[in-house]
Structures are given as C-alpha cells and as structure tokens.
Chain A
C-alpha cells in the first residue's frame, strides 16, 4: 500500500471526497441511462405500478453495486443486465398473469435499446410535440393508460367500450405517434 492509498483509506475528508465523486459519477451515468432502463422495464411489465417499483429497485441495486461496476464496461449495458434479472425474478415470484419474452429475446432488446438510447432526448422532444396533437377520445385513452396507469380493460370500462376496441385504438395512436416522431426526427415535419 502506498502512502497515498493509506491516506485515502484513513482520511475521512478524502474518503468523503472520493465517495462524493463516485456518487457524482453514478448520478451522471444514471441520468444518461435512465431512458433505456425505464423503457426496458416498462415495456416488459404491463402493470404500471409494478414497473415503477422495479425501476426503483433497479436504481437501488445499481447504487448499491456501483462500487463493483467495471468502468471499462458500458454502464447502460450493465444496468440493463440488472434490470433483465430483476424482471425475470419478478415473473418468477409473481403469479404469472401475463406472457413475457424469453431471456434471449430480452437480451436482444436490451442490446438494441442501448443504441436507441443515444437519441433518446431528441425522440422525447419530438414525442412531446406529437402528443400535443392528440385530442378527444384518443387523448383520453392515452392519458388513462399512461398518466393514470390503468389497464386496457379498465380504460375500456371507463370509456364504456370493449377491451379489444381500446387495444386497437391504443395501437393506432401509438403508430401515429411513432410516424410523427420519425417524421420529425428526419426533418420531414417542421416545428
């Protein structure tokens, strides 16, 4: 052990500074990775509240294990790995009330998300613009599903229609949003 190492271990001030530095780094990395991690979990866990729980759990594990993180690796990839294991654990411990992709497929999606994530902020801005164009029943359905975290069947009940009708409606709204986002990102649609 060098004198500096010894000092680092013994000095509360330095230890504190190192800890603060690590936490700053964790904070920076987490902010950048958050879109991909939360997207991965939310897409694979339909229950909005459980998905939020899992995002929080992953955040907790990431913070607790950050000292073990190899800085040479991709943080997003490492965090998505933790998220994948948590999702699988979630389905093992929960009564299996929905169908989920295999671990192999989850790995593929996580890998893809890592790259999509690079443009997450631009996508987000574009999506905000596109959401602003929604109105009427389509907007109501989206708000119920996303803001209020309702299941498709609950949205259907509140809008006094069938689940399959809501399913189709949500799909069409998403498709129109996706097209709008892509147009906007490609510059085909001006502000």
Chain B
C-alpha cells in the first residue's frame, strides 16, 4: 500500500511538472521494472486529462447555452453569398477541398462525447447554430441577367471590385456604379467621362478613361469594346487577357495601355514586360498567328485582324498619363520603413476616399518597395463605412470603427505562411461598454468567400483583436493567432499569443510576427515582447482581408486604426525595430524595448 501511495505521489508530481531528478529516476525505474506500474501510471495520466476535459466541457456547455438564448447571429451570409456558386479555389498545391465536408459529416453529440478540449466546438458549431441574421449581400454591378441575380442560386461569381472613381459620369443611369462595388462576371463599366479603376480578383489592376465600354468576363479576362485603359498585372495574374475588336492581348507580366477607337481600331503600348497578341479574326493568308510586343514598343491592329493592318506605331505614353497617375506610390521613402516583401500599406493620412459624410469608401493601398499591386480596403455599403477621424492620434487622422457595423474589405491579397502585421491603433470609449461580452477583431484574413476550416489541410486564418469568446473576453486585450481549423473535434490554434489590456484612448503600436519557417510567433506591443508561441500551421493564401471585424461573426472593432502594414515575411528584428520606430515617431508612441 505504501509503495502504491508513493507511485501515486510521484505520478502527481510528474504531471504537475514539479518532480525532482531523483524522484524522476525512481518513477522511471518503477515504470520499467515493476509489474503493473506502467498501467497504474497510465490510469493517473488518463484521469489527469479527463479532469481537464470535464471542467472545460462544463464551460463549453455554458457557452452553448449563451448562444442558444440569443446572441448576435453571424453575418456569414454576407460573405458566403457572394460566391455561393463559386467553386472553392485550391489555394495551396496538394490541398484537396473534398475534405471540407468533414464538419457536416461529424455528428455533434459524438464530438462532445469525445471530450473536446475547451472551446473547440464553439467555432465548429456556431455556423450552423447561428446562421440567422445575415447582412444584406453586397451590391453587384449591372449583370446581364438581373432576374437570375436576384436569387443567390443564380448569382454570378464576383470577379473584381470597382476600387476608384474620379469624376465619373455614366453612359446611362442604369450603368451607374458605386465606388467599392463588387462586380460579377458579365458586369460592364460604361463611362461617359471620368476615370475608374477596376481591381480584378486575380490582382490585375485596370484603369479606364471615359468614354469607354469595358466588360468583365471572368477574373482573368475582360473585353474592351471601346475606350482607353491601362493595365498593371502582377506576377500572380500572369496570363490576364484583354480582348479587343481586332486582337486578343495576353499579359506575360506587364504594364501596358490599350486604346480602342469607336470603329474598332486598336493600339497597344507596352510600358513594361511583354504582351502576346493574337489577331482574333479568321486568319488571312500570310497573317501572323501570334505577335510579341515588348517594353517600349507599340502596335496598331485593325478591326479585321489581318496581318496587313498590323503595324508598328510610335510609343505614346502621354495619352495614358492620367490613367497611370492613379497608381499611388509613396512620394518619399519613409526613413526606416521596411520595404522588402511589403504586401499592404494603409495609412489614414494618405489618399483616403470618403463620402460626403466623411465615411471611408476606399482606404488605398500605398505602393512602396515590393508592394507593387494595390489591394485597397473598400466599403460600398454606407451603413458599414467607418468614419475618417481627422485628428485622432498625435494630430493625425485614423479610420474610426464604431464597433457596431463598420468594417473594410481588401481586394484579394496574396499573403504567405510567414507574416508580419504591424499597426497603430487605439480603442475608443465604447470598447468598455458594460454590455460588451464578446471581443471584436481588428484584422482577419478570412475574407469572402469565407472558408469553412473543417480540417487543417487548408491554410489557416491570421486574426488579431480582442479574445472573441465570452469566457476569455477582456475589453481592449489584444490576442493574435492563426486559426488553423479542425481535425475531428479538435480546434487548431497556431501561434496564439495573448497580450495586454491596453485601455482606451492609448495609441498603441502592435507587431505580430508569424514565422512558420522557424515555428515561432511573437507579439509585441509598443516594442515590448509580450509573448511567443509555436507557429506550426501554414497560412499562405490569396484572400480578401477584413479590417474591423470577424469573418462571420458580428464582432467588430471599437477603435481607431491609423496605419497598418502587412509583410510577406517574418521581418528580421532590425527591420521590425526600424519600422516600429518609424511608426512610433510618427504617432508619438513611446517604445519599450524588450529585456
């Protein structure tokens, strides 16, 4: 009996992590030598774990009870409806989307019985429990089949966003579009005058000059019936095509301008890279099937596409000058700001487009360093637009999210497994409202079409904000993680670091690095390292990023966001320090170095 008690004591100290060296040696000896010792120790192990599960499960049941008595429903519909009929993109080689069905197949009761750790089931169950209050679906551009568009089943896939309008007037009232509007396949941009920028989901950026008639066939192909455009095509949109009356133009990694005259004559001017041209009329004898046009070359194509009417012309950048001017580069290189692998840069003091009531329609992505494609953050719905607060932080503007309905959505942005997200924010007074019991998010990488992460074979979702769940929620506390999905009933959260309650009205510099290569994540607040965790899940994906709310729950950020940078790497410490210093100086934030 005494020996039995001693084994129990050693087991207890072992599972608590308080065992000493000699005690461990004794425990080990008994496990290896003594009959039945391993079996008895395994019973202790099982009980140890089952206590964790039982106490966590009780808390889980409390949460589910809370949900069932009426919590805000998830607005997942607002995102999923956009592309309900769109097949899920294969975002990583080797990922098989068929596994996405596992959640539907898994009987819920079984999961609870499985002894799920803590809050795992919450995320899993919630979509089906609470899909009751979807927001209105985003507006679509004029589609060819309005009746079909009325129902989600008939809705065509979104292929682009109207990211900017300058002095735009439309060919007819029916043709009018709103800035920030999503455009479905078959939608047309028909300007009478002015300029419009269309950002395709593939990343290609097209600026149009009125009068023009531009039709979007898919996320990779458009038709320029008439008018003038410039196209900037990032590497990931290689093969983007513009079809013209006399010729098909296929990008091979370029920046180019096209002018289609009303009678169908087409001019192509290549500013950078190479364009492959295929005259698209029936071949005339002797006609060339493919023509390569390279940087600083220009060609003319007749409407009939015949070889005899293809000719060299003088390069003329000037006619596209007003279109090229819409691409926003940083005018001066900010001292210290890292530029390598920069993917997104939003600064509230630069070029923010607001409506007449000062609400943000477009928060433009600033082009600087490696950030050569503008993935602007948009909000077409007036009721969901955050306000641009002119004097918010150190006399500088910030975008103010009301915590109730405001958020912005970028166009699809390519992000990698390694990430650094740096931003300057402050919580506003409403964050401390007594009625708040759930956390809001500042950024979430799971923009529409929102993915159901029913396994961990899909890339994870980076998210930063307050802890979402009531049990964890503490207002103004920041937490960062990559939510990697589920395996069976187990939630996979990678690299989660919980920070500090930063309080209200305190400008704060937040830097989260997720280093998948080194399996480590770090959260820094005002320069101080507040925690690290294991970054074991990949997350590389091209997706819309949501700013100011969770992907499918109505959990919004109560506060101001002045500036945000996303890097496609875990910034080396020197660059992170310099970038932090740049932002700290700009917003008068005192940095605290880590020990």
Contacts and interface: CB of A to CB of B under 8 A. Distances in A.
Partners in one complex: yes
A28 to B, nearest CB: 9
Contacts of A177: 47, 51
A48 to B, nearest CB: 7
B19 interface: yes
B501 interface: no
B120 to A, nearest CB: 9
Interface string A172-190: 0011011001000000000
A25 B64 CA distance: 27
A111 B59 CA distance: 32
B488 interface: yes
Given A48-B52, A109-B41, A174-B8, A20 B105 contact: yes
A122 to B, nearest CB: 11
Interface in B520-543: 533-534, 536-537
A127 interface: yes
Nearest to B456: A60
A57 to B, nearest CB: 6
A121 B113 CA distance: 8
A15 B446 CA distance: 28
A53 to B, nearest CB: 5
Contacts of A46: 15-17
Interface in A30-75: 30-31, 34-36, 38-40, 42-44, 46-50, 52-53, 55-57, 59-60, 62-64
Contacts of B45: 39-40, 42-44, 109, 113
B263 interface: no
A39 B98 contact: no
B38 A109 contact: yes
Contacts of B113: 31, 121
Contact of A56 (B110, B457, B487): B487
Nearest to B15: A43
Given A151-B17, A167-B12, A38 B53 contact: yes
A120 interface: yes
B9 A35 contact: no
A124 B50 contact: yes
A23 B53 CA distance: 24
A49 B147 CA distance: 52
Contact of A112 (B12, B41, B59, B99): B41
Contacts of B114: 30-31, 34
A174 B46 contact: no
Contact of A35 (B32, B50, B455): B50
Contacts of A131: 51, 54-55
A163 B16 CA distance: 11
A88 interface: no
A93 B535 CA distance: 13
Given A111-B38, A174-B12, A127 B50 contact: yes
B339 interface: no
A6 interface: no
Nearest to B23: A99
Contact of A115 (B39, B52, B111, B534): B39
Contacts of B473: none
Contact of B487 (A24, A63, A104, A127): A63
B499 to A, nearest CB: 15
B503 interface: no
A112 B111 CA distance: 25
A116 B9 contact: no
A174 B56 contact: no
B571 to A, nearest CB: 22
A102 to B, nearest CB: 6
Contact of B490 (A55, A143, A152, A163): A55
Contacts of B27: 101
Interface in A1-40: 15-16, 19-20, 23-24, 26-27, 30-31, 34-36, 38-40
A91 interface: no
Contacts of A43: 14-15, 44-45, 48-49
Contacts of B361: none
Given A48-B52, A59-B490, A152-B18, A39 B46 contact: yes
A20 B15 CA distance: 38
B80 to A, nearest CB: 20
A158 interface: no
A167 B536 contact: no
Given A56-B491, A100-B24, A112-B39, 15 more contacts: A24-B105, A27-B105, A30-B487, A38-B49, A40-B45, A53-B494, A62-B487, A102-B28, A105-B31, A124-B54, A127-B50, A142-B51, A152-B16, A167-B13, A174-B44
10 contacts: A30-B114, A36-B46, A49-B533, A53-B534, A63-B455, A64-B456, A98-B19, A102-B28, A104-B32, A131-B51
Interface of A: 15-16, 19-20, 23-24, 26-27, 30-31, 34-36, 38-40, 42-44, 46-50, 52-53, 55-57, 59-60, 62-64, 93, 97-102, 104-105, 108-109, 111-113, 115-117, 120-121, 123-124, 127-128, 131, 142-143, 145-147, 151-152, 163, 167, 170-171, 174-175, 177-178, 181
> What 5 pairs between A and B have smallest CB-CB spacing?
A46-B17, A43-B45, A59-B487, A39-B49, A112-B42
Interface of B: 5, 8-9, 12-21, 24, 27-28, 31-32, 38-39, 41-56, 59, 96, 98-99, 101-102, 105-106, 110-111, 113-115, 117-118, 455-457, 484, 487-494, 519, 533-534, 536-537
